Structure 1
Amino acid sequence: MPSALDSRPRPLDHLAERGEANASALVLRDRVLNHQDLRTRVGQLAAWLLEHASKGDRVASWAAKGEATCLLPLACARAGIVHVPINPLLKRMQVAHILSDSGAVMLIANNARLKGLEHGDVPSGCAVGAEEDLWAQVDECEPLGPSDHDPEELAAILYTSGSTGRPKGVMLSHTNMWLGAVSVASYLGIEPDDVVLAVQPLSFDYGQNQLLSTWYAGGSVVPLDYLLPRDVTKACAKHGVTTLACVPPLWVQLTEIEWPQEAVASMRRLTNTGGALTVGLVKDLRRIFPDARLFPMYGLTEAFRSTYLDPSLVDSHPTSIGKAIPFAEILVIDDQGNVAAPDEEGELVHCGPLVAHGYWQDAERTAERFKPAPAASTYGGTAVWSGDRVRRDAQGLLHFVGRRDSMIKSAGNRISPQEVEDAAIATGLVVEAVAVGKPDPKLGHAVCLAVRPAEGYSEEALKKALAQALPNFMQPRFYRAYDAIPRNPNGKLDRNAITQEFAR
């Protein structure tokens, strides 16, 4: 790691060039790639991509963690192609929307997922490639060298649910992702001998950043798709993992099982994202990992990451989301547009070079979230107005208050109520549907679904249909059928009243 914070943006693919050639970079199931292997494989994959796509085209990936999904962010960047990673938990309806919306010219996925797609899911003009057949072709390519792309060029589109409608694509530049890697590697203090266990999905901003920040520092990544919490502890012990990032529901599960001493002994730092830690969970993590530093964090895909809490303050301020990360300017703005006074509630506004370039082909929703920075901003330019309500205490520490929109955050996932509602109505079993969140000690919020039944409705039939249409993390946990769903004075379905009824 450089001793001084490196603030000069570079093309994203240059991250592959940083590590010591013979040091471990990527630990796969059947082999280990060192940093020289990483450079070669990224160059070969980039050359292959340019045989099948042109600069500026979108290439999507939909597969579990492996060599292709880990290397595509850098290979696409080197080729000047825009990477569109798709969460492997998504079902064909969501995948079809993302392929169509992004205008992807190619989908790289494993054979099992490709067989699950139906006619019309893949738009005309979008080629399909099986991950299992990829590397035999890539091995024949001469590696493409480091690029000289403008760091402000688009590098990736990450799809995230909005408060209404289908998933929207957040546009990230080389600068966004490069400086995000520099920032996280810096404040976490990642070193070349660190081993990071990547359990977060690579379609998430922090999931990708686990790769990028580690490689920026010259460290090693162990990607893991786990089935059970014990798979995580076993991997930590096997690989001498030094850094582990989880969402709160997984942390809860991990504190309920025994940890091998060899897994605990190697751990240097724990990071949390996707929801707040509780006082009890902090105590449990301290009990299991007495020597590890704990980093609570807050972020949003539209600006990658906004704040972190210094580990030295976790015990005294366990519910704080901390202060701005490097390259981020965080302002708390009151309802009159002024900087809020200490302990006064306001909207969290993120300014600086980590701010994304808006939503892909969605000027209306871009204008709602990406607005001119407040007058008090040092950076100026465009800022992300998060919609999240926070307050800043006298010490300058930020505290999360609540969300302005109706997003449901469950098990670290941001869920669009309308996406759940549309899927329910599409079954033909209900006439109306409203999805809301109910506080849950393990999930953060559980998805609840209020419906007005159609002919032939039964709760079991609806559950079965939604199991086919939605990924597991979107499945409603509680159902309620109404003869007439509550409405507000404007005639709209009353989400607040429905939320209160589920809370009883």
Structure 2
Amino acid sequence: MTDLPDPRPLPLDHLSLRGKDGAPALVLKDRLLTFTELDQRVGQLATWLTEAVPEKGARVASWAAKGEATCLLPLAAARAGLVHVPINPLLKRAQAAHILADSGAAMLIGTESRLASLEDGDLPVSCNAIGEKEIWGRVGAVAGSLGPCDADPDDLVAILYTSGSTGRPKGVMLSHANLWLGAASVAHYLKLEPDDVTLAVLPLSFDYGQNQLLSTWYAGAKAAPLDYLFPKDVAKACARHGVTTLAAVPPLWVQLTEIDWPDDATSNMRRLTNSGGALTPTLIESLCTIFPTSQIYPMYGLTEAFRSTYLDPSLVAKHPASMGKAIPFAEILVVNDSGQITADGEEGELVHCGPLVAQGYWQDPERTAERFKPAPQASEYGGTAVWSGDRVVRDDTGLLYFSGRRDAMIKSAGNRISPQEIEEAALTSGIAKQAVALGLPDNRLGHAIHLVLRGDASGEDELRKKLKSDLPNFMQPSVIHWRDAMPTNPNGKIDRVALARELQTEDAG
């Protein structure tokens, strides 16, 4: 794909029309869907959805592994005039219940075992739940198949929930245009072609994970979803499907470099993409050894603006620490504390402008106003911009380099984790009187979760059982520290910076 993509977005469900008739589109466990079949199945599912959830703009949530329903729902909900709310299948019932309540979901489609885990009150009164195995029987009983919709590209089509540094997950509102142009942008700069095969290993509830499908279909290519248990499962799938494109986050890349890769798993690989944290020079070297003919694409993004930058593979060897430059349809500015564009070498805040900027946080005007603000005067796009909170530096060639974050969000194993969620789970146990969750640097995870508590240390075993019951595996603390007292700042609040410094000193000692 050498030409710049068309900047005019279409309704999201039109992605099912991008491939040639008979061209492969989606690999399922029991069969392969061509683009013709993909469009037909999307239309059938959309027809049933319009009868089951007749209110336009209603939210339909999914909470399941990568099956036909979860892969087709982004397009089928769009065609039916509904809003898709994917829930990470790794989340436990408490997090799923929050998302269902916050989004006001009218329907939940989920794995039967996940639905069975819900307790009284978890499901909103107006929300109907249906197991994913039941779906296709009901769909088959409905006559007809909806054709492509004519929705306004600015209409809301998805809400993706993401954690910040404080509070519970917040829903990022995405339009048809956001997702369509994001798919077009990625397909363009990755140079995806119709004969490509993308192995979709990341959760479809993440913007990075969902785009594995959307950008592949934009290019008229084939996607092969995979829920893996072990890293070797990824290598086996690459060999089985002749995978050409593999996306992952740094902790997964570390695991993948520690296994043996047969030639038939690497020989077809054209490109490796990374986001959710930086690749280290050592990791890049390992990837180049295993995949000597593959191009590496380091990328930076945030759900509020989909993706912001990528580093051209030709520059990775000389500039391995760089975030690169803006992707198509993104305008990336570095702004100092006075609101002015920084000079080369001057640190500032990364501000993302342009049509990839989301519509804000669902039913949360206060937090929306904190992150979504008027674009700087220097912006060519103007309008609303995402002020990321990330500190970056631009060099004299225009390449960007990450400096740090302003917030306390924990990024562990590619997941954005709210410290407050972990703290609330610890406090509800009754064992801890005060709780602080911190992310400390870790070579494998990016951040390791350290939970600092004031309370009865003899109850640690009971507390860990409670945390394992209430929180997903990626939110479990690596280390629990007990304190008789917490350090406080002049305002009487717990001094998180001092506490993190203490822990790092202890760890160094």
> What TM-score bracket applies, with the shorter chain setting the length?
over 0.9
| Structure 1 residue 92 corresponds to structure 2 residue 93 | yes
C-alpha distance in structure 2 between counterparts of 1:2 and 1:387, whole Å: 33
Corresponding residue for residue 20 of structure 1? 20
C-alpha distance in structure 2 between counterparts of 1:2 and 1:489, whole Å: 58
Amino acid at match of 2:204: L
Q: Deviations over 1:299-319 (max 9, x none)?
A: 000000000000000000001
CA deviation after TM superposition for structure 1 residue 2, in Å: 7.2
Corresponding residue for residue 34 of structure 1? 34
Q: Deviations over 1:395-428 (max 9, x none)?
A: 1000000000000000111100111101110111
Q: SS where residue 147 of structure 1 aligns?
A: coil
Q: SS where residue 266 of structure 1 aligns?
A: coil
Corresponding residue for residue 134 of structure 2? 133
- Give the 5 Å matches for 1:480-495: 480-495=481-496
Q: Is the 8 A contact 2:357 2:386 kept in 1?
A: yes
Amino acid at match of 2:240: K
Q: Deviations over 1:220-249 (max 9, x none)?
A: 000001110000000000000000000000
C-alpha distance in structure 1 between counterparts of 2:32 and 2:488, whole Å: 58
Amino acid at match of 2:423: E
> Which moved further from structure 2: 422-431 or 70-79?
422-431
C-alpha distance in structure 1 between counterparts of 2:355 and 2:479, whole Å: 41
Corresponding residue for residue 239 of structure 1? 241
C-alpha distance in structure 2 between counterparts of 1:49 and 1:83, whole Å: 11
Corresponding residue for residue 315 of structure 1? 317
Corresponding residue for residue 78 of structure 2? 77
Among 186, 210, 213, the alignment partner of 1:211 is 213
CA deviation after TM superposition for structure 1 residue 462, in Å: 1.2
CA RMSD of aligned residues (A): 0.9
Corresponding residue for residue 262 of structure 1? 264
Structure 1 stretches lacking a partner, 5+ long = none
Q: Deviations over 1:71-126 (max 9, x none)?
A: 00000000110000000000011001000000000000011111111111101010
Q: Deviations over 1:342-386 (max 9, x none)?
A: 010000000000000000000000000000000000000000000
Change in CA separation of 1:13 and 1:400 when aligned onto 2, cut-off 3 Å? same
- Give the 5 Å matches for 1:266-415: 266-415=268-417
Q: Is the 8 A contact 2:2 2:191 kept in 1?
A: no
Amino acid at match of 2:439: G
Amino acid at match of 2:130: G
- Give the 5 Å matches for 1:146-165: 146-165=148-167
CA deviation after TM superposition for structure 1 residue 461, in Å: 1.5
Corresponding residue for residue 146 of structure 2? 144
C-alpha distance in structure 1 between counterparts of 2:145 and 2:8, whole Å: 26
Amino acid at match of 2:203: P
Corresponding residue for residue 198 of structure 1? 200
Corresponding residue for residue 442 of structure 1? 444
Q: Is the 8 A contact 1:15 1:212 kept in 2?
A: yes
C-alpha distance in structure 1 between counterparts of 2:8 and 2:38, whole Å: 23
C-alpha distance in structure 1 between counterparts of 2:488 and 2:417, whole Å: 22
Corresponding residue for residue 116 of structure 1? 117
C-alpha distance in structure 1 between counterparts of 2:305 and 2:478, whole Å: 31
C-alpha distance in structure 1 between counterparts of 2:346 and 2:195, whole Å: 43
Amino acid at match of 1:348: L
Change in CA separation of 1:344 and 1:4 when aligned onto 2, cut-off 3 Å? closer
Q: SS where residue 322 of structure 2 aligns?
A: coil
Q: SS where residue 321 of structure 1 aligns?
A: strand
Amino acid at match of 1:71: L
Structure 2 stretches lacking a partner, 5+ long = none
Amino acid at match of 1:168: K
Amino acid at match of 1:246: A
Q: Deviations over 1:122-170 (max 9, x none)?
A: 0101001110111011123311000000000000000000211100000
C-alpha distance in structure 2 between counterparts of 1:4 and 1:257, whole Å: 38
CA deviation after TM superposition for structure 1 residue 485, in Å: 1.1
Amino acid at match of 2:198: V
CA deviation after TM superposition for structure 1 residue 265, in Å: 0.3
C-alpha distance in structure 2 between counterparts of 1:445 and 1:4, whole Å: 37
Q: Deviations over 1:47-85 (max 9, x none)?
A: 110111121000000000010000000000001100000
Q: Is the 8 A contact 2:194 2:222 kept in 1?
A: yes
C-alpha distance in structure 2 between counterparts of 1:303 and 1:207, whole Å: 15
CA deviation after TM superposition for structure 1 residue 457, in Å: 4.7
- Give the 5 Å matches for 1:152-191: 152-191=154-193
Q: Deviations over 1:252-310 (max 9, x none)?
A: 11111110100110100000010000000010011111100100000000000000000
Q: Deviations over 1:434-482 (max 9, x none)?
A: 000110000000011001115x852221111100010011110011111
Q: Is the 8 A contact 2:163 2:169 kept in 1?
A: yes
CA deviation after TM superposition for structure 1 residue 4, in Å: 3.6
Q: Is the 8 A contact 1:429 1:457 kept in 2?
A: no
C-alpha distance in structure 1 between counterparts of 2:258 and 2:127, whole Å: 45
Amino acid at match of 1:243: T
CA deviation after TM superposition for structure 1 residue 500, in Å: 1.2
Q: Is the 8 A contact 2:308 2:326 kept in 1?
A: yes
CA deviation after TM superposition for structure 1 residue 3, in Å: 3.2
Q: Is the 8 A contact 1:277 1:296 kept in 2?
A: yes
How many residues are matched?
A: 503
C-alpha distance in structure 1 between counterparts of 2:437 and 2:61, whole Å: 29
| Structure 1 residue 470 corresponds to structure 2 residue 471 | yes
Q: SS where residue 458 of structure 1 aligns?
A: helix
Q: SS where residue 177 of structure 1 aligns?
A: helix
Amino acid at match of 1:63: A
Identity over aligned pairs, percent: 67
TM (norm. structure 1) is: 0.99
Q: Is the 8 A contact 2:44 2:146 kept in 1?
A: yes
C-alpha distance in structure 2 between counterparts of 1:502 and 1:378, whole Å: 45
C-alpha distance in structure 1 between counterparts of 2:298 and 2:46, whole Å: 35
Amino acid at match of 1:499: A
Q: Is the 8 A contact 1:321 1:398 kept in 2?
A: yes
Amino acid at match of 1:82: V
Change in CA separation of 1:36 and 1:2 when aligned onto 2, cut-off 3 Å? farther
